[in-house]
Structure 1
């Protein structure tokens, strides 16, 4: 076989090959050297273009909004009830939180922004951020006064059961004689009492919006519940899901978990064991206990 014949070209063929090679070299040079420069100088590809700039600004704005949404929101709160977790989210140090908790353990109350800083020793910058969200009780921000402007004295002498008035028949005016209860709080107590057809236990005062543990204790010092509201208690260890959901704060999901936990434990030994149930509203256990009994 004559291999040499494959490499013999005519004059026209050789000219065509040289032209093709020249075109390839030119295109290669344009791709690597000319085109990048054109793209960099072309205003259509520049990030400073008047057409592109608005889109970049909009993207940056959406990013800023997304970052802001991810930040934890702060709602008005009483600084006396700051927990470890709440203090951490507010930016307080462990030492600052511990000072507040130690102060509260002494049965003392923070009643102003300045006092909060004195107790916790938080910085001025942090105080400026969180103080606008402080919500003190009404009796602190608007203390009741007599007509002559002097502060109305409240007796802190404990009353005997015989001296105490019946909470289920007390008027709004009688409730306002308790330290910490103004017109709005007394009205809320009366309305809630009417809604539930009378109180069964003082723990139900927790359901009245705005009442602090200290004010509830003041009510207990001045009132008694002579005829508690009748409550039909449900047997925890035999109750059906339909019966459990009739109890306030227990929905179908929580009722389902209660029955599951009850089966695993072969029955509850105490109502407090409900706090181990998945999704159970632990902070409402005292209210829920009013409607339950153990067989």
Structure 2
């Protein structure tokens, strides 16, 4: 073997030796880092997950209890056995049909013996299912029930207080609160609306008050009527200013402005029909509005 040629393989330059030395340093450093480092990843705790996991044990316990619990057996009236129920009890199709035919005659079995007589089931099956039968109380305690009907005591209700028909414009809050469905809030709302208008000229105006149901309005019409007081100050449509017209509850500023414009261009209004020709005039309330105006 020629050692000289073999030696050539281990002949390195200065830079190569430095590189090999640094490589060994890196390898050793990585080995030490791997040896002393802890690579165990700590699990992040999720409160929601822990909550459900804690409940899982309770759910498992509940399932175990239900699994070990015997099913509850409910008693039943054998007169109302269905085809499926009879099959589950062990009855044959013929036995079920006999019971169905008996029931179609509007007849009832009132004991286990009658049930066997009608259906023809065996004694062994009767002994098995008869403890599950439940007949009405009147069948089991016939002697405890009287054949005659009990005497009913006629109950007298207090007579409804008959209220006199009053003028809605003279009604107080106490008078309004006597109407069924009207409390302190609605009665105050009615009186406030009367104050804004000056008075009510028609009971139809009750429909415009927010919160009054049709039933309550009907009750108000039964106990009140609208009497226009002679002191009502009417609005002269032909002389009233824009401000006076705009303050009227049934007119808005825009409508009041149209009235003044129409009046200045076409002359005075003769009646409510002339006034109703203006655009956006509430024609459906023309009759009520006319009672507040003069021409």
Sort the TM-score into its range (normalised by shorter chain): 0.3 to 0.5
TM-score, structure 1 length as denominator?
A: 0.35
